[in-house]
Amino acid sequence: MLLSKSSLGISFWDDRVDLLHLLKPSFGKTTVVNSLSIPFVYGMKREEFERDVSAFVKENRLHRMMPYVALPRRDVVLLNLELPISVEDNLREVIGYELDNYTPFSGDTAYFDFQNLGHTVDGSKVRILLGAIEKIRLNYYLELLKGVGLEPISMEVSSTAIARTIPSDDLNGGKNVVLYMGANTCEFSFYNEKVLEYSRAYDRTSPELNFKKGQVVDTILKEYRRVFPSGFGEQEIKKVVVLGDGISDEEFLKEISNVAGKEVVRVKTFKGIDISDGPGIQLQRAALGCALRGLYGDTAAMNLFIARVDRDKAPRVLRFAAILLFIFLVSLWVGEFVLRIKKEIKTLNQIKEKVMLLERAAISVEGLKKEIAVMEERLPQLNNFSKRRVLFLSVIKELTDVIPSNTYLTMLKYHDNEIEIVGRSASAVTLLSLLETSPAFKDVEFSATMKRREAVRERPGGRAVIAGGEALPLSEDVYLENFSIKAKLERL
């Protein structure tokens, strides 16, 4: 179907291999298209495996599909470790370097992965669940699948694959035990919410497990106490989740509940999947869990094999073409929308720049206006100063013309429209008359008068020198008067 999704899940067991092809249309119910279970033992020749599986792959057009694969629990070493908190940021490097200290393998002879289970109570160590498998063993499964045109994208342990089929509500609410009853295998797993913390597999035919005597749950509790001795007790287990082909015996379920003192939850076969139950259908749960992971693109908590080469999945030309066309049309619409937004943003930025320039220009204009106002205030003062300077020069010139040679000044004051001269003269009265007749002055009057005699000595050439050191063209004794005259100025 157009826009449908499909996935292939494969699970290897000690006695068989399961293949399950899952399909989910975009607007339909998830269905199992087909499934296959064939006898299998480790070491089976490649030709025998291809003979039974190639037809299934061909009929369902699964060539070059990248399946999700589950490996037998007993092929994988699962260990709980506690490492110093200081190595938490480099766990993969540390584990790879010291793998031979934890497992029978070295970093060169095994594939491994792990999941972080959090810190210990005191926070000094980090708890991890380590999974490792010998490279020779994993590569054997890998070569079998490549022989029929399949290259896995993920290879996980059967415990985590089976848990993928358990409804989320059954694993919520704390720590739970999951008991899987296979044909020849029994797996005990402990989950904290949806996180696998420990798992152990037993041979179902082994006398170690006497189901009639209630040893199953007792073994679970003893094993958990051995692995987690730090205060974990039986009371922390919320319930026991049971699934597999041997759980139809109600007496057995009651025995588990009585011994454990916990609720026993029986998981329905392929809940939410469109398939009718048949003989042995429960045995394909690991394959279903892998197919569901591939269908929804989930990442396995521990993926023992990371695909090293990117390959295309099974061809779905029409589906991919429709998806690409849809993406293309959406891209065009989004692109046009984005271009329009960019254009509007560019225009807005240009307007903002113009506004900023105008604001700067307005600020400059305001500054110039203030400078003009200041200059206008100073202009009358400058004009007045200029006029007063010209008037003062005119006053100096007029005084030079009017004052006779027998008079000298010691001080000249000029303020507003009035001057005051102080000095000595042979005749202060004559000086007063000269100033009154000048057109430059008016209201001329003495402000103080003082008369005194100065000693005069003859000098060669007929010039007289007074005591003050000034030379006068006189040859007889001279009487000089101190005077102080003030007058107002007329317009010149």
Q: pTM of the prediction?
A: 0.60
pLDDT tens digits, one per residue of 239-281:
888 887 655 577 777 877 777 678 888 887 666 676 654 455 6
Q: Tell me whether domains 1-165+270-315 and 172-266 share a fold.
A: yes
pLDDT tens digits, one per residue of 147-167:
999 999 999 998 888 888 888
CA distances 251 to 178, 264, 334, 348, 478, Å, are 18, 12, 63, 78, 161
Structural contact between residues 282 and 266, judged by C-beta atoms closer than 8 angstroms: no
Q: How far apart are CA 409 and CA 424, in angstroms?
A: 6
Please, which pLDDT band fits residue 91 given cuts at 50, 70 and 90? Answer: very high
Domain limits, the chain = 1-165+270-315, 172-266, 333-402, 404-489
Q: How far apart are CA 404 and CA 434, in angstroms?
A: 9
- The CATH architecture assigned to 1-165+270-315 reads 2-Layer Sandwich (3.30)
CA distances 17 to 72, 290, 306, Å, are 10, 13, 21
Q: How far apart are CA 27 and CA 209, in angstroms?
A: 46
Q: What is the mean pLDDT of residues 345-361?
A: 88
pLDDT tens digits, one per residue of 178-228:
888 776 777 888 888 888 888 888 776 666 655 555 566 667 667 666 655
Amino acid at 108: D
Please, which pLDDT band fits residue 90 given cuts at 50, 70 and 90? Answer: very high
pLDDT tens digits, one per residue of 110-132:
999 999 999 998 989 999 999 99
DSSP H or E segment with residue 86: none
Closest CA to 313 of 149, 139, 156: 149
Distance from CA of residue 267 to its chain's centroid? Answer: 43
Amino acid at 104: P
Percentage of the chain exceeding pLDDT 70: 76
- Residues contacting 36, CB < 8 A, separation 6+: 18, 19, 20, 52, 53, 56
- The CATH architecture assigned to 172-266 reads 2-Layer Sandwich (3.30)
- What average pLDDT does the chain have? 79
Give me the phi and psi of 457, to 5 degrees please: -120, 145
Closest CA to 156 of 290, 307, 297: 290
pLDDT tens digits, one per residue of 15-50:
889 998 888 776 677 888 888 889 999 999 888 899
Residue listed under structure tokens 């591939």:
294
Please, which pLDDT band fits residue 76 given cuts at 50, 70 and 90? Answer: very high
